[in-house]
Amino acid sequence: MSAVILRTALEDIGFKAKSFTGGEAGIVTDDHFHEALPLMNLTAHQVKTRLEPLAKAKGIPVVTGFIACTQDGVTTTLGRGSSDYTATILARR
């Protein structure tokens, strides 16, 4: 919910923004729910593919931490402290 609220606040003050879960942003993991590990090569490719068009259009991606998905689209979580980890994964792109 907080990503949607932040996106809306950004839009209200004139910025172009879009909210994503980590999985929607392209973070792909193994299937170890609550302690999933990102598949970094696939994640890097997908994050670039999904977020770069928004960035080129001067938009702001607002991405939730903690949540990702498997290659089959099943929601996973990265575990304790993973909101910061999500930010690091996205910055790596």
Domains of the chain: 2-92 (3.40.1160.10)
What b/e sequence results for 66-84 when a residue is b if at least 16 CB atoms lie within 10 Å of its CB, and e otherwise?
Answer: bbbbbeeeeebbbeeebee
Tally: H helices and E strands in the chain: 4, 5
What is the DSSP annotation of 35-57? S--B-HHHHHHHHHHHHHHHHHT
Tens digit of pLDDT per residue, the chain (93 long)? Answer: 899 999 999 999 999 999 999 999 999 999 988 889 999 999 999 999 999 999 999 999 999 999 999 999 999 998 887 888 899 999 985
**Residue 80 confidence (pLDDT):** 82
First to last CA, the chain: 25
